[in-house]
Amino acid sequence: MTATEPAPTTSRALDEIKIGGMGASRKRVEDNRFLRGRGHYVDDVVLPGMLHMEILRSPVAHARIVSIDASRAWDIPGVRLVLTGEMMATRNLAWMPTLSYDTQAVLATDKVRFQGQEVACVIADDPYIAKDACEAIEVEYEQLPVIVNPTQATAPDAPIIRDDKEGQADNVIFDWEVGDRAGTDRAFAEADHVSTIRMHYPRSHPSPLECCGSVADFDRATGKLTVYMTTQAPHIVRAAVALIAELPEHLIRIVSPDLGGGFGNKVPVYPGYVMSILASILLERPVKWIEDRSGNLISTGFGRDVYLEGEMALRRDGKILAVRMHTDSDHGAFFGDAQPSKFKIGLLHSTFSCYDIPTAHLTARGVYTNKAPGGVAYRCSFRVTEAMFFQERMMQAAADELGIDQAEFRRMNFVRDDDFPHRTPFGFLTDSGQYAKCLQVGLDAIDYEGFRREQAEAAKQGRLLGIGISCMTEPLGAGNSREYDILGIKMFDSAELRVHMTGKAILRTGAKSQGQGHETTWAQIVAHELGIPAEDIVVEEGDTDTAPFGMGTYASRSTPVAGAAVAMVSRKIRAKARKLAAHLLEVSEEDVEWELGRFYVRSAPDRGVTIQECAMAAYSNMPDGLEPGLEANAYYDPPNLTWPFGCYIVTVEVDPMTGVWDVLRVVAVDDCGVRINPMIVEGQIMGGLTEAYAMSSMQFITFDADGNCIGSNFMDYLLPTAWETPGYELHEVVTPCPHHPIGAKGIGECATVGGPAAFVNAVMDAVKQYGVRNVDMPLLPDRVYEAITQRHDVSGAPPIRTDA
Amino acid sequence: MYPSRFRYEAPRTIDEAIQLLHEGGAEAKVLAGGQSLVPLMKLRFAAPELLVDINNLPGLDHLDVAADGGIRVGALCRHRDLERSLDVAQAQPVMAAAAPLIADPVVRTRGTLVGSLCHADPQGDWAAVVTALGGHVVAQGPGGRRDIAITDFVTGPFQNVLAYDEVAVEAVLPPPRARVAGGFLKLERRVGDFATAGTAVALEIDGDRVVRAGIALTGVGSRTVDARAAADSLVGQGLTGEAIMRAADLAAEAAQPTSDHRGSAAYKRHVIHTFVTRILTRVSQTSEAAA
């Protein structure tokens, strides 16, 4: 070593993790106010002169309304308004359109069609008076026969539920099909073996901790209607109100403040919102409606309630030749599925997307019943939950029948890593994944071979152990405008970024967080693109007067669509900042290079300016001809859905004497592409697994033969507590999304979608020796016990069985 | 969730409370822990005109475990106090087994054993425990105090024998005459769920002979079931496999379950059989191990 060597030019790029950029497990900024009790929810909105609304609901499931006498309610001091269906009808608001091009009663006029349906509402000085007045309304019902399942709905002598609809001669909503019928028939004819299975995916409910509610405030002086409401999609609501109520769109402001969870429950427009709006217009006073728990569980958007007849054509060596499925879906009294596709049964035909299936055919029939409307909500991306549950239950049954190992059967039928892009049997295009690797990571983590030995040993002592696998790729994102729209509005999303002169910024998007942590992760994307520390960026959503037009948050679409818009708007800002940098550095733009947080001169890396200096220049020292300011917006229309992959493996022990089963271990391997905030992603997965465990073990809404809802309170509709919720072991594989600007895929719903089959498959594996092929969810102890002792499949379809 | 209008009083003495109840008549209700009454009021299934809050009354929050093993539980003694009491754990294994299974931690912090007995929910847990132990309730009214055996106290679903102006001031569990053993098992779908079926077994054992037995069932009838024949079949016996099976058979026979969304009647009966068998088998194994 002789002379001193010149110091190497070191990068001055910021440490991305330190500024809270991509990959940082940054603490959720919104939790600061939530944990301090300083969140601001709809029920926290108090306006001067505000009145309170309560809803009278039908106690019966199907009845003609003979008369409604509200005179005693009007007589109660403090009552300002009593609305009935008849009065709504005078304003043409007794019925409203649903997102599935059906109609739904706002307040019943002719008859009630499900227990809990809205019959009247009272607006009073306080909610106690309103409730008292509801009880004083006398309604005479003439009871009609009740339908609680598709078999009853399609019986020849079934009463017609929707006799309000012209030309509706039965209870069928749609008969729909997709796939290749002839090709599938040919494949079945050539099969060595045909595996068949029937099951019911029960009705469940998103049950967010915060129920629905609204505060409608119509100002006669300005003509402006402001509605604070629990909605996951404020702009869609604004459009709907403009179209339904025929109010001018620029005079409607929808504000969705902090939301206490959504899970899809807060996508539809509910009668309560509409009534509070009309009441505010009529009374010219703010009107608050806060739904109670029973109202939420008994009347708002539910999930599932789908019956499957599944068939699989198999070659002896385990190759799947074709899949045939028929579903009967129970939509309740109104077809109110909140889903944006032209497909009648949502994205159910995304089933079997991770397997290489030559041909498939699906027929789907939807029916009306005397149950609450809704149909896709509960963290499921438009019936993908059913699709993947049915798929993985069919996979298990087929493997067992062929005598092939569960893992091996999946592995041999997976789409291979080099087969992308891959056209699924029903026409979706998947673009990336490492399915076999994910499965192997899961098998290694759970010690698959070791558990099989342990299982065999335990069996010698009469103990029942089981292992269940569930693998799936699912379409997440609810986007691309070619194929998806809501009321004609295309499924893009948006972001607007304003960088202030000191380099701090405000970001607004058309999405709406309801617990997903947008305020944290969106700032991380901006930090990644611009090098502005995440803590210098405030994120705002949910106010249609300020947020750019977007389609809201559901179907795991925030990161795939709005998140992409955030990246794109940041890049627009960077492009303008580059011009400012060139001006400040007195070089031409082509000579300016970017590294995280700063521009520098290519030939002289020490000469640089930070993004903050560029921001200052945008307001104080802009070059001639350049518009001042550093703001931009971006609308993003994704080229495809994103396709994350999940592999969930569960082990259980079943008590043969009681049917009680305990979870031993849960291993989850998720590939959601690039993770923006790994901690939040893991939280999403754990929450999803907990909901999967809930649905498989305890959670359902059912009905008795009279249409009484069982599950309309938290005594009957069970949410698992920390006590019984199992622990989770999480693993990751990263296959970036090829078309997303930062390589991310949806993750919010994966574990809820893929998880249930893992739990059920594990219990079915444990009781396989009894010849049982299916027990419907939830796998309540009595159902498992019946399966073991009676050696038959157990249906959970309503009505519930009683002694009578 | 908005209850009907009601009057609320929080008296400072028991006499004042009794006077208020007397005035309120059938429309008055006592508020202790409020874990059943308040939800029922919010659902408007219950709409009392007067609530007499006894939480300010002195001398009702006791949990006394006497040297002879007798236990007195005051009307304001919370489930949590029972759950955390080492004295109870040593004196009465049945109570110690049941206490952590009552509802969930939030409810246990406020709810009371005596309130649970008064509420007389057919799926309640404490009534089964107190029945198995042969306890009684002490009621105080305008005419003074009286003891009411638990089997007489509960008269039907959500019904007790108290006069409208009586307050249940404590529950009393008699001192055992021999070594105590037993257990409490309940099938619930989730923590805090009501029992699909549950069983309390209380034994007193002298040497290898059962000298007193109580078996009571919850969730399998319109009120707590006192499986007297099952319990009596054990008295004077050792806990042999045969004796255990006979008691389990008789207990399952005593159950009067109905089918609902928690399970079929046959299943609930079977669970009772299994639970009685399991508790008695465990007691016999522990006794053998001790001997």
Q: What is the pLDDT of residues B104-113, one digit of tens each?
A: 999 999 999 9
- List where CATH 3.30.365.10 sits in chain A: 303-476+641-790, 479-636
What's the maximum distance between 2 C-alpha atoms anywhere in chain B? 62
- Sequential DSSP letters for A52-79: EEEEEE-SSSSEEEEEEE-HHHHTSTTE
Query: Order of strands across the sheet with A729-732?
Result: A464-473, A645-654, A661-671, A729-732
Q: What amino acid is encoded at A352 in this protein?
A: F
Burial class of A43 by CB neighbour count within 10 A (0 to 12, 13 to 18, 19+):
middle
Token pair, residue A32, equals 């600061």
Those residues with Cβ within 8 angstroms of residue A788's Cβ, 6 or more apart along the chain or in another chain:
A654, A656, A659, A767, A770, A772
Q: Which residue has the tokens 């949910």?
A: A542
- Which structure tokens are listed for B268? 């609930």
Any idea which fold B179-290 has? Enolase-like; domain 1 (3.30.390)
Neighbours of A317 (CB within 10 A): 9
A379 annotated active-site: yes
B47 part of contact set with chain A, CB < 8 Å: no
Q: Which CATH number fits domain A303-476+641-790: 3.30.365.10, 3.40.50.720, 3.30.460.10, 3.30.830.10?
A: 3.30.365.10
Contacts of A713 in chain B (CB under 8 A): 43
Q: Is residue A270's pLDDT more than 50? A: yes
pLDDT of residue A64: 98
CB A330 within 8 A of CB A369: yes
Chain A residues in contact with B188 (beta carbon < 8 A): none
Query: Which residues lie below 8 Å from residue A102, measured CB to CB, with a gap of 6+?
Result: A173, A334, A335, A336
Q: Where are the alpha helices (DSSP H) in A252-352?
A: 271-283, 293-299
Chain B interface disruption, residue of A125, A288, A658, most B CBs within 10 A? A658
Q: Which fold has domain B63-173?
A: 3.30.465
The C-alpha R_g of chain B, in whole angstroms, comes to 19
User: Residue type for B158, please?
Assistant: F
Backbone angles phi, psi at A749, to 5 degrees: -110, -5
What is the number of other CB atoms lying within 10 angstroms of the CB of residue A393? 25
Residue A672, Cβ density class (10 Å: 0-12 exposed, 13-18 middle, ≥19 buried): buried
- In chain B, where do the E strands start and end? 7-9, 28-31, 50-53, 63-65, 71-74, 136-141, 144-149, 154-156, 159-160, 167-173, 179-187, 197-206, 209-218, 225-226
Strands (E), A523-573: 537-540
Per-residue pLDDT tens digits for A46-81: 999 999 999 999 999 999 999 999 999 999 999 999
Q: Do A658 and B274 touch (CB under 8 A)?
A: yes
Chain B residues whose CB is inside 8 A of the A293 CB are 1
Is A455 catalytic? The answer is no
CB within 8 Å: A800 and B274:
no
Is A232 tagged catalytic?
Answer: yes
Residue A713 corresponds to which amino acid? Answer: N
Relative orientation angle of helices A435-446 and A448-460, to the nearest 10 degrees: 50
The DSSP annotation for A593-655 comes to: EEETTEEEETTEEEEEEEHHHHHHHHHHSPPTTPPSS-EEEEEE--SS-B--EEEEEEEEEE-
CB B128 within 8 A of CB B154: no
Start and end residues for every CATH 3.90.1170.50 domain found in chain A = 58-155
- Second CATH level (architecture) for the domain A58-155: Alpha-Beta Complex (3.90)
- The sign of the dihedral angle between the CA atoms of A679, A683, A689, A690 is positive
Q: What are phi and psi of A768, to 5 degrees?
A: -55, -40
- Say if residue A399's pLDDT is above 70: yes
Answer whether B44 touches A (CB < 8 Å). yes
> Start-end ranges of CATH 3.30.465.10 in chain B?
63-173
Q: What would the two tokens of residue A178 be?
A: 């997709």
Chain B residue numbers touching A54 (CB-CB < 8 A): 2
* Beta-carbon contacts of residue B69 (< 8 Å; ≥ 6 apart): B91, B92, B175, B176, B180
Measured in degrees and rounded to the nearest 5, phi and psi for residue A71 equal: -65, -40
The pLDDT, as a whole number, for residue B259 is 94
Please tell me if residue A706 touches chain B, with a CB cutoff of 8 Å.
no
Percent of chain A with pLDDT over 70: 99
pLDDT by residue (tens digit) across B44-82? 999 999 999 999 999 999 999 999 999 999 999 999 999
For tokens 């444990």, the residue is A766
At residue A1, the pLDDT reads: 46
Average pLDDT over residues B154-175: 96
CB A133 within 8 A of CB A365: no
DSSP string over A293-320: HHHHHHHS--EEEEEEEEEEEE-TTS-E
Mean pLDDT (chain A) is: 95
A residues 480..519 contacting B (CB < 8 A): none
What value of ipTM does the predicted structure carry? Answer: 0.95
Q: Residue B36: pLDDT above 50?
A: yes
Size of chain B, expressed as the number of residues it contains: 291
Q: Nearest CA to CA, how far is A289 from chain B (Å)?
A: 12
Range list for CATH 3.30.390.50 in chain B:
179-290
pLDDT at A482: 80
B190 and A54 in contact by Cβ < 8 A?
Answer: no
Does residue B291 have a pLDDT over 70?
A: no
Give the pLDDT of residue A4. Answer: 56
Cβ atoms of A112 and A126 closer than 8 Å: no
Determine contact: B48 vs chain A, CB below 8 A.
no
Q: By CA distance, what is B278's nearest residue in A? A: A657
Considering A675, A749, A773, A783, which one is annotated as catalytic?
Answer: A749
Crossing angle of helices A750-766 and A678-697, rounded to 10°: 40
Size of interface A-B (CB pairs under 8 A): 71
Q: Which two tokens stand for residue A761?
A: 């498959």
**Contact: B265, A718; criterion CB under 8 Å:** no
Question: B107, B261, B282: which to substitute to probe chain A, counting the most A Cβ within 10 Å?
Answer: B261
Cβ-Cβ contacts under 8 Å, A719 against chain B: 190
Q: Which chain A residues are closer than 8 Å to B270 by Cβ?
A: 785
Confidence check: pLDDT of B207 > 60:
yes
What mean pLDDT comes out for the span B90-98? Answer: 96
Alpha helices in A372-489 (DSSP H): 384-402, 406-413, 435-446, 448-460
Three-state secondary-structure class, residue A490: strand
Class of domain A479-636: alpha beta
Q: Which of A794, A722, A729, A721 has its CA nearest to residue A763?
A: A794
Domain boundaries B7-53, corresponding CATH code: 3.30.43.10
Q: Where in chain B is the domain with CATH 3.30.43.10?
A: 7-53
pLDDT score, position A99: 87
A647 noted as active-site residue: no
CB within 8 Å: A724 and B190: yes
Q: What mean pLDDT do residues A711-718 have? A: 93
Q: Is the pLDDT confidence value at A546 over 80?
A: yes
Angle at B168 between CA B164 and CA B174, to 5 degrees: 145
Q: Which of A23, A13, A16, A12 is nearest to A527 (CA)?
A: A16
The CA–CA distances, whole Å, from A409 to A320, A404, A464, A775 equal: 9, 6, 23, 22
Residue from the list A293, A702, A785 with its beta carbon closest to the beta carbon of B267: A785
Q: How far is CA B144 from the centre of its chain?
A: 24
